[in-house]
Amino acid sequence: MFTRWMNRILVAVVAICASGTVGARADAADREIVSFRLTQWKAAHFDDAKTAKTNFETLKRIGCEAEQHRHDGHFDVRYRCAKWRSIALKSHDEAHQWERWLKAYGFETTHQH
């Protein structure tokens, strides 16, 4: 159940990234701001290459350090974001989707309106 929920969140996150709604703090005058950081390395395990690659690319796109490895029949994505980063989103709902995804992956988050 958790994996299915995470996949739904990931699809929403990827759609947000693809739509170009992720922006720098400077662009954020009327937008929702989600700030995040993860100071220690963390790893996520995936059974398929496509999901691992999508997560890896999403983490890189939002400015995280990330590595991808395959071993023992699964894929690991290792990541961290030692300094606070921010993303500007068009709506409150998008901000909450990002917050849920980031928290599920172990990030500290703050959300400003």
Total-model pTM: 0.73
Instruction: With residue 95 as reference, give the H or E element that holds it.
Output: helix 92-104
Q: Please list, in sequence order, all residues whose beta carbon lies within 8 angstroms of the beta carbon of residue 62, skipping any fewer than 6 positions away.
A: 17, 22, 36, 81, 85, 87
Total domains in the fold of the chain: 1
Average pLDDT over every residue of 81-104: 95
Quote the domain boundaries for residue 15: 2-112
Residue 24 pLDDT? 44
Residue 13 pLDDT? 54
Residue 28 DSSP class: -
pLDDT one-digit tens code per residue, 36-86: 999 999 999 999 999 999 999 999 999 999 999 998 889 999 999 999 999
Contact 10, 54 (CB under 8 A): yes
Give residue 93's pLDDT band: very low, low, confident or very high (50, 70, 90): very high
